[in-house]
Amino acid sequence: MTTGVTVALNGALVPIERDVFIALFSNSVVSTYAGVRNTLDGKPLPFKEFLNLANKAEIPYPLFFAPKGVVEEQVRLKIKKLMAGFTKSSFSMHSRHKVELRDVELIVKDLLRKQELLRRYDDTLVKNDLVGLLNRSRGPVVQDAGRLMAAVGFTRSELRTARTKEAALELLIARLEGKQVLVSRSAQHHMPQEMPPHAKFSGMTIKDKKVPFIFLATGNEGEHLEPAGRKLFTLVLLTVLIAEGTFAPVNYDGHTKDEASPRAYQLTAEILMPAAEIGPMKFPDLQSVKDAADKFKVTPSAIAMRARRLGRLDRDTFSTYMDELQNEYENRPKQVMSSARPVNALKKYNGVECSRRMLSILDSGHITQNEFRRIVLFNKLPAAQINDFRVAVG
């Protein structure tokens, strides 16, 4: 028997059509919240909690009492608007997990909103030459890798001579933003929504002819910690997707033994670990793999995968190395993440280039301080601290 859905208000139980409740909340960021699950199991939902859930999901609560047909049309329009930023629903590499749109819904909405404001008010923007640079290319991977590096404006030696893998990541972000590719990174408690624990998500590309966005899930959300080398690999992968004209949420599994790789992965591997250099190398033990990872600023698992594909590791040795690396990863000491200062966390999420351009829009009078606080600072900082944000952005 189907359980009824009710909201408790002033001692009375107000019914909501079950299909409407499911249609609205199952396509939202609160789909896994206890209040939603318990209500579907028959427990009355207190009206105050109902309002809180609707607000978090950005759903006007009267919509729950609309006819089912109206609700289905609103859900369709919402998904259509979200998908305007993508050319495909999900891009999974070496993973069977599909990225659920609801897990990143509010982030997508936010980045689309910022793109719209920048297109409307920033007259310094030009057509972005990186978008579609390698679209439909059938040239050699080595050649396309060189084209992309030249277009972004970085060299392999620059990445490798960076002091740390994090420094290499920062260098690449700066070069991308210098080419009007905006880079946003997850910052816990300082972005439109938190990554849910179940989410399998590495990042996404949001399409635009002038200011495409890259959102990089940096892994500071808990157990899904992204080592610095994997962040760099993922960022290069997302850059390759923009060059190929692919805009999608991306799930990349860096610990896979799956040897089949799409062209985007091959290009990413060639940029960071060129065949001409990896090919002659020998990997007699796991330490040699780790040493190479430090040199190329990637993870040991990426080196092992590349060496396997180039025939430098046999199947059994490759599997052994990957098992050992997986075991080390799962048993690594848990890091205690310190909370970043709000001004720095907001700079990280918005990205330096987007922040600078949004400050220019504020200075030109196109948006008010209150609008800037809402759109860029999520009301985390008072107006008096906008200058602190400006100093942090530089």
- Average pLDDT on 82-89 reads 78
- 344 C-beta neighbours (distance < 10 Å), count: 13
Q: What is the pLDDT of residues 310-330, one digit of tens each?
A: 999 999 999 999 999 988 888
Predicted confidence at residue 31, as pLDDT, reads 86
Predicted confidence at residue 93, as pLDDT, reads 58
Q: Which amino acid is at 86?
A: F
Predicted confidence at residue 338, as pLDDT, reads 63
Predicted confidence at residue 340, as pLDDT, reads 76
Q: What is the pLDDT of residues 112-137, one digit of tens each?
A: 999 999 999 999 999 999 999 999 88
> Which of 41-50, 215-224, 275-284 has the least mean pLDDT?
215-224
- Does residue 335 surpass a pLDDT of 80? no
What confidence tier does 84 reach under pLDDT thresholds 50, 70, 90? Answer: confident
Q: What is the pLDDT of residues 167-200, one digit of tens each?
A: 999 999 999 999 999 999 999 889 988 877 666 7
- Average pLDDT on 37-55 reads 93
- Percentage, residues of the chain above pLDDT 70: 91
- Percentage, residues of the chain above pLDDT 90: 69
For the chain, the domains span 5-83, 91-330, 342-393
- Average pLDDT on 66-85 reads 88
Predicted confidence at residue 221, as pLDDT, reads 42
- Does residue 94 surpass a pLDDT of 70? no
Predicted confidence at residue 331, as pLDDT, reads 83
Q: How far apart are CA 306 and CA 299, in angstroms?
A: 11
Assign 3-class secondary structure to the chain.
CCCCEEEEECCEEEEECHHHHHHHHCCCCCCCCHHHHHHHCCCCEEHHHHHHHHHHCCCCHHHHHCCHHHHHHHHHHHHHHHHCCCCCCCEEECCCCCCCHHHCHHHHHHHHHHHHHHHHHCCCCCCCCCCCCCCCCCCCHHHHHHHHHHHHCCCHHHHHCCCCHHHHHHHHHHHHHCCCCEEEECCCCCCCCCCCCCCCCCEEEECCCCCCEEEECCCCCCCCCCCHHHHHHHHHHHHHHHHHCCCCEEEECCCCCCCCCCHHHHHHHHHHCCHHHHCCCCCCCHHHHHHHHHHHCCCHHHHHHHHHHCCCCCHHHHHHHHHHHHHHHHCCCCCCCCCCCHHHHHHHHHCHHHHHHHHHHHHCCCCCHHHHHHHCCCCCCCHHHHHHHHHHHC
Predicted confidence at residue 55, as pLDDT, reads 92
- Does residue 222 surpass a pLDDT of 60? no
- Average pLDDT on 294-307 reads 95
- Does residue 220 surpass a pLDDT of 50? no
